[in-house]
Amino acid sequence: MVKVLFVCLGNICRSPMAEAIFHDLVTKKGLEEKFVIDSAGTGDYHIGEPPHEGTVEKLSEYDISTNGMVGRQVSEEDFLHFDYLIAMDDDNLSELKKLASGESEPAIKKLLDYMPEHPTRNVPDPYFTGDFDETYELLSEACKLLLDEIRRIEEV
């Protein structure tokens, strides 16, 4: 079982969008039994809240569900439970590395590290930019590449 956690600041825009997109990709490939997929935020701003309406609207255009998703904050247990902690930007990555205890060795990377040829290095936060289209496009491409990489490494 491969466990993937997507991480952004508040866990209502980028990371739940990535979680939903990745879950959709995994399901379409018939691999849902081989993955645990979740999302969390480094901040505690939106704990218990559903994804942002812009995220929900954008995903619904592609028939991708956000049912049951609620914002939560990254916990110490996440570093023990998940194999991959995937940050949306440099700040999230830095925060994850500060929180890592060293007891476990999950892969902690930025999602756009899986798109080395792309000029953008951080997934823009549509909470601030209002551009859910750009975020969706980046996350869709990067999630495909992340899944390919995990399947190659983990042989799933």
Q: For position 117, which CATH number holds? A: 3.40.50.2300
Tell me the pLDDT tens digit for each residue of 88-136: 999 999 999 998 877 667 899 999 999 999 999 999 999 999 999 999 9
Q: Is 121 a catalytic residue?
A: no
More confident position, 103 or 84: 84
Using alpha carbons only, give the angle 24, 27, 28 rounded to the nearest 5 degrees: 85
Q: Which tokens belong to 37?
A: 């997929």
Please state the pTM of the whole predicted model.
Answer: 0.96
Annotated catalytic residue within 13, 14, 78, 143: 14
Q: Are 88 and 125 in contact (CB under 8 A)?
A: yes
Q: Are 16 and 40 in contact (CB under 8 A)?
A: no
Q: Is 151 a catalytic residue?
A: no
- Domain encompassing residue 145: 2-154
3-state secondary structure of 86: strand
For residue 62, the 8-state DSSP code is T
pLDDT confidence tier of residue 155, bands split at 50, 70 and 90: confident
Annotated catalytic residue within 8, 72, 83, 89: 8
pLDDT at residue 106, rounded to an integer: 84
For the chain, what is the total number of helices (H) and then of strands (E)? 6, 4
3-state secondary structure of 36: strand
Q: Are 91 and 112 in contact (CB under 8 A)?
A: no
User: Which of 136, 110, 155, 120 has its CA nearest to residue 54?
Assistant: 136
For residue 111, the 8-state DSSP code is G
Annotated catalytic residue within 13, 89, 125, 143: 125
pLDDT at residue 100, rounded to an integer: 86
- Structural domains counted in the chain: 1
